[in-house]
Amino acid sequence: MLRRNWRRFIPIYAILPLVTTGLMNLFAYQLPKLIQLLLHSARSYDLTSALDVQFPFRPGWIWVYIATFLFWVYQYTTVARESPERACRLAAADFVAKLVCFLCFVITPTFNVRPEVTIGGATGFLMRFIYWIDTPTNLFPSIHCFVAWLGTRFLYDTKNLRRPVFTRIVCTVGSILVFLSTLYTRQHVLLDVAAGIAVAEYGYLIAKYTPLTGTFQKLNARFMKTRLVDIL
């Protein structure tokens, strides 16, 4: 009964594509930090502009920032449930975009200056905790923004599928809130947000107009024939 219920939420054919997106997130975000550590690289750039200082530091937005992770799950699983082809296309687009992020993090590392968190309570604790576990590096492009926008982009690309307008509106508004949360919490600057949207669009186009999605479909088809699928 439990197996049948979770399969309705995540079909078997969507497991490998979705797991791939998670692994790519670790690859793109964590490996550059290790490379910079091994190379003892001190070169880094601050992309803060005059416009960025117009956004006041608002720790309360950290709750939106944290909720982003659930938002990603909703977006990606919603797209992946549509069909095996859509699941693989999403994984292909995510793969390309995160590969670009990885290269940017290694070649043009960036940083930003964070404000002091002076408020108390749960919000202050959470803000300080995020600052502690998430160093101000690997900022350009913003993975937070790119994943949110990529999921929304796919939900609009449904010419042959029925997608409620309400879902599109919710995800569009959600993406905008994600963008704002990265700015108000000083996790990112405007250039990071813009670059995140750009790499999402790039990954989307590569997945749509090149054979890469077909390659992901072939790999997924092989996975579907393994014994692991029977266990799941």
Share of the chain above pLDDT 90, in %: 73
For 109, counting Cβ atoms within 10 Å of its Cβ (0-12 exposed, 13-18 middle, 19+ buried), the class is buried
**Burial class of 186 by CB neighbour count within 10 A (0 to 12, 13 to 18, 19+):** buried
Which of 90-99, 109-118, 164-173 shows the highest mean pLDDT?
Answer: 90-99
pLDDT for 122-154, tens place per residue?
999 999 999 999 989 899 999 999 999 999 999
What's the chain's Rg over C-alpha atoms?
19
Structural contact between residues 65 and 184, judged by C-beta atoms closer than 8 angstroms = no
The beta strands (E) that lie in the chain are given as: 45-46, 110-111
Closest by CA position to 43, among listed 114, 135, 110, 137: 110
Q: State yes or no: pLDDT of 110 exceeds 80.
A: yes
Report the predicted TM-score, pTM, of the whole model to 2 decimal places: 0.92
Q: What is the DSSP string of 100-124?
A: HHHHHHHHS-EE-PPPP----HHHH
Q: Locate the domains of the chain by residue range.
A: 12-40+56-231
Q: What is the pLDDT of residues 168-198, one digit of tens each?
A: 888 999 999 999 999 999 999 999 999 999 9
Go through the chain and tell me how many residues it has. 232
CA count, 13 A, side-chain hemisphere, 161 = 16
Residue 13 amino acid letter: Y
